[in-house]
A and B are shown apart, each in its own frame.
Chain A
Amino acid sequence: MRRLKVFGSLVKDSLDVITHGSKKYHIWMAFLTFVMLVGMYCYSVQLEHGLSVTGMTDRVSWGLYISNFTFLVGVAAAAVMLVMPTYVLKDIDFKQAVLIGEGIAVAALIMCLAFVIADMGGPSVLWHMIPGIGVFNFPNSMLTWDVLVLNGYLFLNISIPFYILFKHYQGKKSNSKVYIPGALLSVFWAVGIHLVTAFLYQGLQARPFWNNALLGPRFLASAFAAGPALIILVLAIIRTFTVFKIKNKTLKKIAMVVTVAAQINLIMLASELFKEFYAPTHHSESAYYLFFGLDGKTALLPWIWTSISLNVLATVTLTFHKLRNNSKVLYFACFILFVAIWIEKGFGLIVPGFIPGPYGKIVEYTPTGIEIGVTLGIWALGAFVFTMLAKTAIKIETGALRYRKKES
């Protein structure tokens, strides 16, 4: 009963926190709301006219939505790179950052689910997928695995920080015996969500571009580069705009994680390029299309080469201690790395899987304005959710928000 009361008070206090803030905060939230509204308008157009308002066709049947979904699963998985050191290895330097990392994971997962729903032809019959009342084709369909692991991970990433914040809110210490098992589980679960998502593509014998054993490991490497890179940028912003203290040491340690992951990712890229181009087979055509274009069709060329240049530049920059330890250079490197991997793991991965088609037909894909609008709207949704989560968490962690503080 008492817990309910505390919970009620927490909800009320959080609402108070997220509706009050500086002018910059209000402008930021208003901007996100505006983008979300635009996205919702675009989605309503899509609902009315069907997916024909997107650039997708029977030849390229997945596009921007599934690309962003794939990338964001990686961002969500990356929270584990903070969870493991903090909760399992007891590295005190990560402690401040971990709640932010988990907040990013929650926002990324919500975006993932939103992208999947946006991609559905029949969102009104999605209940067909709910186990019990629908038919859940488990374990045959990797998509059902993905539904399970994504929702499970979302639950873990909501419940652990919630428990900790709930305790701190009451001015109590969180009991590590309660959350450590969950944290341990989430470490394996994070690897699981990204491997399962890779298996979604990897298991299709119809698409040789995806059907390769390196896809899963490479997903992990790129995720552990892009995710923590985003976390560094977010922490840098939080450090500037709030009273929340994040030590340089923390950023440096996360930067180390980014660096190693980015290096591994580059090695795997080299291995893939070697396999596709040293002895090209019929199955290398998608890679040819992606990197050099086929039959004069070159839509992806500027994107993938931008991605590779940024990727190499960022990795080289991060590799030198001197450059990495300069915070301005670090932020820049993290930003370009994030963009590079968004391209590479987004439409640089999904679209060429369909080109050339099963019988060699080359039909290109260009997203439409509606599609881009929905995509931006979902990204804004993610940022909106994250801002609210982070603001509340920071207030509690800095001690500004406490149960019954006002009375006492």
Chain B
Amino acid sequence: MGDSTKKWFSLNLGNSNTKPSGSCGCGNPSGGCGSHNSENADVNAIGEERHKDGFEQVFDVKMDRRSAFKKLTASLMVGAGAVTTSCSVIVGEETKEKAQIDWEEQFKGNYKLMSDEEKNGTVDRLVRSYQLRTGKTISLSSKNAEEDVLFGYAFNISKCQGYMDCVTACVEENNQDRSSQMEYIRIHEMKDGKGFNFNEADDNYYHEVPAEGHFYMGTQCFHCDNPPCVEVCPVQATWREDDGLVVVDYDWCVGCRYCMAACPYDGRRFNWSTPEVPEEEVNKNQHYLGNRMRKKGVVEKCTFCVQRSRAGKNPACVEACPTGARIFGNLLDPDSTIRWVLENKKVFRLKEDLGTEPKFWYFMD
């Protein structure tokens, strides 16, 4: 296992200072993972639609879809309630605007394929819609991945005491549904002397920690470099961003939950009912791909707090950890703490045999 970590370095990080998108952690020079040369990596990471050579095509496809859809729905519009309201002269301007926004939001495209302009468009609509509904203003970002950034995470098993401050901070930061107590992070309480025996571990404890004779290990989405969840999505509503984050477009997800079946790490959560967050607890610093408000029937997951990490901050779980067990940073920055950990500690990853290449390492002091 140590060996494969080494490969990660020699193959990826060495190269990737000059060619960040060419990074691949499989350590297999024959290209079995499909992400070896930078061109391949592009396809693997973002999907064919955003292949650099085919930008024109992308644009065309998009216009086609839009115009085709407009034509298709033109006849439907007559009967649609939203339009009826928006055409009515009796109702107020705000109701009309709300209906207009709802209509455009219902029929917008996949965020992954949007141009920056379109991204700004939908973000503006969502901010305005929230304002109309609650009278409050949120800050919603559509910041793209930066160049020469590949996010990675390390977890110090020796330090974690199971306080679960990370879990609480995560829920508050990411506006998760309070009624179903959705949590992205699970802390597994393991017995000393049993090794990493997840079967006997308890991820739902309610007692004082650290409990005698136990150690703790946290899991969440590992932001795999070769994520099985992305492959199986029938509508490409989930994908790997250029900085390595595996994200979901909540508005494009159809809720089939195939990704949940495909994830070997229990990294995904589903909104079984309409998510509820008390208005005063809503975190208003949001990102389209991160902690913006979700709706029922869509899948969500940890995004390494994209709204924070792309703004140069640590994810909420890292910041909240009282023991310093959590380390986050840019794998392509040779001076980062995460790089120091990977180079100086005996690190390992979970279920490496599945070929998922998680960007989440465990280590001990």
Q: Interface on A for B, CB 8 Å cutoff? A: 49-52, 54, 56-58, 61-62, 116, 119-122, 124-129, 132-137, 140-144, 147, 200-201, 203-207, 285, 353-354, 356-361
Contact = CB atoms under 8 A, between A and B. Distances in A.
B39 to A, nearest CB: 17
Interface string B255-285: 1111011111110111111100000000000
B68 to A, nearest CB: 5
A128 B262 contact: no
Interface string B275-306: 00000000000000000000011110000000
Which one of A121, A201, A361 has the highest number of Cβ atoms from chain B below 10 Å of its Cβ?
A: A121
B14 interface: no
**Interface size class, chain B:** 35 or more
A132 B60 CA distance: 12
Contact of B354 (A50, A56, A206): A206
A141 B233 contact: yes
Contacts of B296: 50-51, 121
B356 to A, nearest CB: 8
Contact of A120 (B198, B255, B274): B255
Interface stretch (B2-10, B116-124, B139-147, B234-242): B234-242
A204 B199 CA distance: 21
Contacts of A206: 228, 261-265, 354
B297 A120 contact: yes
A358 B36 CA distance: 29
Contact of B270 (A121, A141, A144, A204): A121
Interface in B287-333: 296-299
A282 to B, nearest CB: 9
9 contacts: A51-B255, A120-B254, A120-B255, A121-B255, A125-B252, A127-B69, A141-B234, A144-B234, A354-B261
A119 B255 CA distance: 8
Contacts of B203: 359, 361
Interface string B166-189: 000000000000001010001010
A116 to B, nearest CB: 8
Given A52-B180, A61-B260, A142-B232, A205 B354 contact: yes
Contacts of A141: 231-234, 258
A354 B270 CA distance: 15
A128 B254 contact: yes
A133 B69 CA distance: 6
Contact of B72 (A125, A133, A204, A360): A133
B270 A207 contact: no
A349 B110 CA distance: 33
B199 A56 contact: no
Given A126-B254, A128-B110, A359-B219, A62 B64 contact: no
